[in-house]
Chains A and B, each alone.
Chain A
Amino acid sequence: MTQYASITLQNTDDARPIIEAILADNTDVQVLNMPGAVKLDRDHRIVVNRASVEERIGRSWDPQELHLVLISMAGNVDEDDDYFALEWKK
């Protein structure tokens, strides 16, 4: 069975650049749009890169700011200064 690493974010102005960054940096992401929320699923690993978000919002961004718009997730968390990733180890 496919093991989806998954992240669900609010559908807000603060979250949209993060969603865009995820879609740009990860291949084959499945998107489920719900009222008020967006669920992004990818086989085994999905990553949010700091640089990619900063490029879109034009200011420095701390990956922990994700806490403000995060609704849910699946996978083991791997967090550092430059990225936030969720993954199921193969």
Chain B
Amino acid sequence: MSAKKLGLKQRYALMTRGLDWETSYQPMDKVFPYDTFEGIKIKDWSAWEDPFRLTMDNYWKFQAEKERKLYAVLDSFAQNNGQTGLSDARYVNAIKLFLTGVSPLEYQAHRGFAHAGRHLRGVGPRIAAQMQSLDELRHAQTQIHTISHYNKFFDGFHEFRHMHDRVWYLSVPKSFFDDARSAGPFEYMVAIGFAFEYVLTNLLFVPFMSGAAYNGDLATVTFGFSAQSDESRHMTLGIEVIKFLLEQHPDNLPIVQKWVDKWFWRGHRVLGLVAMMMDYMLPKRVMSWKEAWEIYFTQAGGALFQDLERYGLRVPKYADIATEEAEHISHQNWAIFYQYTHAAGFHTWMPKPDEMDWLSEKYPNTFDKYYRPRFEMWAEMEKKGERFYNNGLPQLCTTCQIPMGYTEPGDPTTICFRTSEYKGDTYHFCSDGCKDIFDDEPEKFSQSWLPVHQIFQGNCGGATVPDVLDWYKLNVGADNMDYAGSPDEKIWKAWEAAKKSQGPARTEDARTEDAGAKTAAE
């Protein structure tokens, strides 16, 4: 080690600011063509603060260490048949939704931050965005790698990338990121860096990943927390973007406020999937969605927006509605998936009686009154051999692309329904939040790729449900329908029986033997 070591701040300045230059062969405006059209005014890029003073050399060092730890866990999880130690195989369905719905977003984020990192003129945010771009690529890779282990034993994982671009409910997260990535660099930074990473991502990666740990999924909790260790840096970038934009020029405030409102609402809608994963898909639960919302939005978001008041920024529009919805959204989403289980790439079920009791306890204002009676009726119908399927195609909200199954604020017995006219056509929305977003950018959202519209237009493989499922590459009878009676359930029961008899697993299912043979060959 050299005798004189530079301090952190000095080292950081030399390794980032010190490496920037003004272009001379081409004017800066031509090199950075996208950082003015959104109306954001920047007077002084050098005023950007870098709270995490991470330099590239340390970045590689820490990321390599994180990868070594993660891959040691993945190896031992696979080697020791970690999948047999899960709380229950129903849990795996949450991971199917994660791989098909979330992991491709990590890749989208990688591309989005690469673009923002290229097109922001200041060196501070440019370096932070480039690091985040590399992080997001790492997240996509580690998630796919981790979850590939489950693909050896369970259905629904095999065509995750293909499905992400086609399956009706996956258009919800996909269109969220398409919207962000087709915006300008500043809106992208506010959308993903601030609204998603800072305000909402904790709800996905902290309680849900803790839930993975609680349900015996060592591999997922490890990639989850490994990813989340980068997330703290991302959150800091997000909050710095907001502060920087608001400090640079008073004209930026209304633009930033509009983006914060839009992306809070868009994120809230996407995270409804996570709400359902936490309340219905984890056999052992850490906390309810409502409790997570209280900790991570009401409390943490409250502290954040109190801090941002000094710049004139207010709490996102419709935050009160979103908080009210925290009592309903997981139940309403699970009801949608239960009805359309034949068209979903994961299994569904009605909660068992003790699980219903847990929901009653966690949702004293809503579960017994609005949701338990419906779920008990469906469970009863199932027993009689009259399992309820919804055979129509749902109307979708043009903005969030979720079936129009949400209820009016203040009235959980009436479906919420809004419309707008644009160039002679009528567009439908699930909420005032989604309608406002459309009304502000009708030219963009009127071009949405809406799965149900596309099916009716004949663009999705054919006119019948089996044609469409084939086009999704969904393996009918294995990937879809109820957990009860599925191949997943069969293999799980064989493992459980083997545990009890303390002998080797014996099953007719070829996948157990294949996996054994593959392990032996390696």
Q: Are A and B a genuine interacting pair, yes or no?
A: yes
> Which of B52, B69, B299, B302 contacts A77, CB < 8 Å?
B52
Q: How far is the CA of A71 from the CA of B51 in the complex (A)?
A: 17
The answer to whether the Cβ of A58 comes within 8 Å of any Cβ in the partner chain is no
In this complex, the interface size class of chain A, counting residues with CB under 8 Å from chain B, is: 20 to 34
Q: A1-B302, A64-B58 are in contact. Are A72 and B210 (CB under 8 A)?
A: no
Complex CA gap A75/B58 in Å reads 23
Tell me how far the C-beta of A65 lies from the nearest C-beta in chain B, rounded to whole angstroms.
8
Count how many pairs of residues, one from A and one from B, have CB atoms less than 8 Å apart in the complex: 98
* Residues of A1-52 contacting chain B, CB below 8 A: 1-6, 8, 10, 32, 34-37, 39
List chain B residues, Cβ under 8 A from A75: 303
Q: How far is the CA of A27 from the CA of B504 in the complex (A)?
A: 54
Tell me the bound Cα distance from A66 to B53 in angstroms. Answer: 13
Distance (whole angstroms) from the CB of A18 to the closest CB of chain B: 13
B231 close to chain A: CB less than 8 A: yes
Cα–Cα, bound, A79→B50 (Å): 10
Of A36, A64, A65, which contacts B210 at CB under 8 A? A36
Q: Indicate whether B181 reaches chain A with its CB closer than 8 angstroms.
A: no
Residue in B51, B229, B306 whose CB lies within 8 Å of A79: B51
Measured in the bound complex, the distance between the Cα atoms of B346 and A86 in whole Å is 41
* Max chain B Cβ within 10 angstroms of own Cβ: one of A5, A32, A73, A88: A73
How many Å lie between the Cα of A80 and that of B11 in the bound state? 11
Known contacts A1-B303, A4-B299, A4-B303: does B51 contact A73 (CB below 8 Å)? Answer: no
Q: Which residues in B have their C-beta under 8 angstroms from that of A74?
A: 300, 303-304
The interface residues of chain B lying within 8 Å CB-to-CB of A77 are: 51-52, 236
Chain B residues with CB under 8 A of A3? 302-303, 306-307
Query: What's the Cα separation between A60 and B170 when bound, in Å?
Result: 47
Complex contact A72–B232 (CB within 8 A): yes
Residues 227 to 277 of chain B near chain A (Cβ within 8 Å): 228-229, 231-233, 235-236, 239
The CA of A36 and the CA of B502, in the complex, are separated in Å by 29
| Mask of A55-90 contacts with B, CB within 8 angstroms, 1/0 | 000000000110111111111111111000000110
Q: Is B39 an interface residue (CB 8 A)?
A: no
Task: Please indicate which of the listed interface residues B8, B205, B214, B235 has the most CB atoms of chain A within 10 Å of its own CB.
Answer: B8
Q: Is the CB of A35 within 8 A of B232?
A: no
Q: Can you report 29 A-B residue pairs in the complex whose CB atoms are below 8 A from each other? A: A1-B303, A1-B306, A2-B303, A4-B300, A4-B303, A5-B303, A32-B295, A34-B287, A36-B214, A37-B209, A37-B210, A37-B225, A39-B206, A71-B205, A71-B206, A71-B225, A71-B229, A71-B232, A72-B206, A72-B228, A73-B232, A73-B235, A77-B51, A77-B52, A78-B51, A79-B8, A80-B9, A81-B7, A88-B307
Residues of chain B whose beta carbon lies under 8 Å from any beta carbon of chain A: 7-9, 51-54, 58, 62, 65-66, 69, 202, 205-207, 209-211, 213-214, 221, 225, 228-229, 231-233, 235-236, 239, 286-287, 295, 299-300, 302-304, 306-307
Query: Given A37-B225, A65-B62, A74-B303, list of 13 further CB < 8 A pairs?
Result: A3-B302, A35-B213, A36-B209, A36-B225, A39-B206, A64-B62, A67-B54, A67-B62, A67-B229, A70-B232, A72-B232, A78-B51, A81-B8
